[in-house]
């Protein structure tokens, strides 16, 4: 079985995190600024983002087996050459139609997108339980909806991560404030010797990012977890199931790569500034999912034309028009 065959699914959850993903908000506000196509930024209630922090529900975010949750994530995963095309997006109850306005069923992108609502926050591992039928006893990737990944070498890093046939894999990134994240301590042989959520004492500055890879056993492991004191299933506990069996591996986002967590409004604006700075300098879109799909030959230029019509008159459509002449 090829890598593409074994890692063909990804789930993305938004759970109790009331903002759309970073990319969704960036693109919704930037691409549909003129209200074309009947889409208005007010439809997304951007005010939901105000004051939210990880404790406010972002910890219940679960995005996995799906290489798409917003254009940022979708382009991240898709552009990482992992060839993930089967996507499940888990959303908060009552928010499904908001997401479908921006991300329909994926037909025009050459991918398959399905949705599932979570009635209440039950923690990240609950995404695997909700997505059991979607996973179909296969390996699966999970990406959190408020995480932003950027870097030239991410394709090779993620492709390497998908080579795991048994066990689980995490993606690490060095941070200055590890006490705010789940962290992992790695020995000289790159073996994970300790993982801990928001340690009060310094353990490591290697933060565990919101991108995970799991084998087919993840659903059964998730079902055996017990809620923590805050009443939710914890991703650290799920990772410990694999670590205790010596089946948890780590990869790094190296220097030059970026991992941004938009779990607070301050971090959200920082991410917007980062995206704008890079795009304005290069004249290229970081998260143009149509461009990614076109490069992978999942769609043709007729699909691009339909997307232009869907978005209406806006800067994003102007960018898509350029793809027609490449």
Using the predicted structure, report yes or no on whether residue 154 has a pLDDT greater than 90: no
Domain range annotation of the chain: 3-169+210-299
Residue 63 to residue 141: CA distance in whole angstroms: 8
CB 146 within 8 A of CB 261: yes
Would you call 120 helix, strand, or coil by DSSP?
coil
pLDDT number for residue 164: 72
Average pLDDT of the chain to the nearest whole number: 76
Letter string b/e over residues 30-48, b meaning 16 or more CB atoms within 10 A of that residue's CB: bbbeeebbebeeebbebeb
Tell me the sheet residues that pair with 102.
none
Candidate from 57-66, 117-126, 302-311 with smallest mean pLDDT: 57-66
Q: What is the DSSP letter of 47?
A: G
Residue 198 to residue 188: CA distance in whole angstroms: 23
Using the predicted structure, report yes or no on whether residue 158 has a pLDDT greater than 70: yes
Residue 11 to residue 319: CA distance in whole angstroms: 28
CB 223 within 8 A of CB 141: no
pTM confidence score: 0.76
pLDDT number for residue 146: 86
Mean pLDDT, rounded, for 193-220: 94
3-169+210-299 maps to which CATH number?
A: 3.90.550.10
Q: Cβ-count burial of 162 within 10 angstroms (0-12 exposed, 13-18 middle, 19+ buried)?
A: buried
Residue 80 to residue 72: CA distance in whole angstroms: 12
What percent of the chain shows pLDDT beyond 90? 38
Task: Categorize the per-residue pLDDT at 74 as very low, low, confident or very high, splitting at 50, 70 and 90.
Answer: very low
């Amino acid at each position: 079985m090829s890598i593409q065959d074994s890692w063909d699914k990804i789930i993305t959850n938004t759970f109790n995190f009331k903002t759309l993903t970073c990319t969704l908000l960036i693109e919704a506000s930037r691409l549909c600024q003129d209200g074309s196509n009947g889409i208005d930024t007010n439809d997304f209630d951007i005010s939901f983002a105000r004051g939210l922090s990880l404790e406010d529900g972002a910890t219940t975010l679960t995005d996995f087996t799906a290489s798409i949750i917003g254009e940022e994530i979708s382009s991240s995963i898709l552009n990482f050459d992992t060839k993930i095309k089967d996507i499940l997006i888990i959303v908060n109850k009552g928010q499904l139609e908001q997401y479908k306005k921006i991300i329909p069923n994926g037909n025009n992108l050459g991918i398959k997108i399905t949705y599932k609502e979570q009635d209440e926050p039950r923690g990240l591992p609950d995404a695997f339980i909700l997505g059991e039928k979607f996973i179909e006893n296969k390996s699966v990737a999970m990406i959190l909806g408020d995480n932003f990944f950027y870097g030239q070498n991410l394709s090779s890093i993620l492709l390497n991560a998908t080579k795991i046939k048994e066990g689980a894999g995490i993606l690490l990134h060095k941070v200055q404030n590890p006490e705010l994240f789940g962290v992992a301590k790695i020995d000289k042989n790159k073996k994970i010797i300790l993982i801990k959520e928001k340690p009060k004492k310094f353990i490591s500055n290697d933060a565990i990012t919101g991108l995970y890879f799991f084998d087919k056993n993840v659903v059964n492991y998730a079902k055996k977890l017990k809620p923590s004191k805050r009443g939710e299933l914890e991703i650290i506990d799920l990772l410990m199931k694999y670590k205790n069996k010596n089946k948890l591996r780590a990869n790094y986002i190296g220097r030059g790569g970026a991992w941004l967590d938009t779990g607070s409004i301050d971090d959200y604006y920082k991410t917007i500034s980062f995206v704008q700075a890079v795009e304005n300098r290069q004249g290229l879109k970081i998260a143009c999912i149509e461009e990614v799909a076109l490069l992978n030959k999942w769609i043709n230029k007729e699909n691009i034309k339909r997307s232009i019509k869907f978005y209406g008159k806006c800067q994003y459509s102007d960018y898509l028009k350029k793809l027609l002449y490449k």
